[in-house]
A = this chain, B = another copy of it.
């Protein structure tokens, strides 16, 4: 008999579910309407202003098709500006608006505390161990 709850794949999905739910709840309680993906996109755009959509997608391991919608929603919220790149009119360069920069600054500390919350049931040494193994599993793949 297959004990679903013992399978790594099942447990990983559950943890991802919990992490997203904590993220969205925390944001919502603070009055922000941001998903994990939107936060990741804004963080990278803040670090590399002028990045194009395809490069952004690869930075955060997303599909190029998906990122379009994410960016569209961030533009609609007024957090991200999109402009056609002069040297390569096929590409669109992205940057944070002033409002986007402010929101990102406010939200980043909350995201950090959510990270602690996700690992809340572990001791410090267990957390470090878990992160090590996570990094090893994701590295390069």
Contacts and interface: CB of A to CB of B under 8 A. Distances in A.
Interface in A87-138: 108, 111, 114-115, 118-119, 121-122, 126, 129-131, 133-138
Nearest to A136: B121
Copy total for this chain: 2
A40 B19 CA distance: 20
Most buried by B among A13, A20, A131: A13
B118 A40 contact: no
A14 B121 contact: no
B61 A7 contact: no
A58 interface: no
A17 interface: yes
Interface of A: 1-2, 4, 6-20, 23, 36, 40, 43-44, 47, 60-61, 108, 111, 114-115, 118-119, 121-122, 126, 129-131, 133-139, 141
